[in-house]
Amino acid sequence: MKILVNPNRMELLKLRKRLDLSRRGHRLLKEKLEGLVKEFIPIVDEYRRIRQQMDHLIPRTLNLFALAAATSSEEIVALSLEECQGEAQLAGEVRRVMGVSSPAFRLEDFHLEMGYSLVATPQELDLAVSELGSLLPRILELASMEELLKRLVREIEKTRRRVNALEYVMIPELSRTGKAISSKIEEAERSSRVRLMKVKEMLEARGM
């Protein structure tokens, strides 16, 4: 990135102000990046812990459904599930982490009526339906955390790109341009002094 400016003192002052502003912005963005990463790590750890639990519980619940279908038949299980009626009440809020907003949902109430005959269906089906209901709060929590993590990752990447752009492109180029302008101004002043000295010598030689 090349910064094209006229080599004069006014432009040098403007350049130094831009450089100072860029350094302050870089410091603030770096602090933000460190804060985002600091908040991100414990959320990831908690997400992994819940995900490991769900990776164990969900297959176990599905195995109960499979066992129920094997004990009776898939048709009976499907018809029995159609007879189930449930009602769930969700509560939503906005969770904010370091300026990043994300929706979060939780299960406030869940009611399930097993409309099928308990006599005509295997016990495994009852257990499977019951376990599935107990998994809903964790599924909602996991989904909310996953969305938050996705948004945090996007914000971390965006902030890191801005930090790198300032650190490796903008600040070095402003510094180089400032030094180049200072060097040209000093060279122009030296040339001006040399010309003045020559004029003075010529005037003195003429007795003026």
110 with 134: CB under 8 angstroms? no
**Integer-rounded Cα radius of gyration of the chain:** 35
- pLDDT tens by residue, 148-157: 999 999 999 9
- pLDDT tens by residue, 81-111: 777 777 778 899 999 999 999 999 888 887 7
pLDDT at 185: 79
Residues 203, 204, 208: CA angle, nearest 5 degrees: 65
Return the percentage of the chain with pLDDT > 70, whole number: 88
Average pLDDT over residues 17-33: 95
- Please tell me the distance from the alpha carbon of residue 98 to that of residue 96, in angstroms, as a whole number: 7
Average pLDDT, the chain: 84
pLDDT at 50: 92
Q: Which domains does the chain have, with CATH numbers?
A: 9-198 (1.10.287.3240)
pLDDT at 169: 92
Stretch among 33-47, 64-78, 148-162 having the lowest mean pLDDT: 64-78
Confidence category of residue 131, pLDDT binned at 50, 70, 90: confident
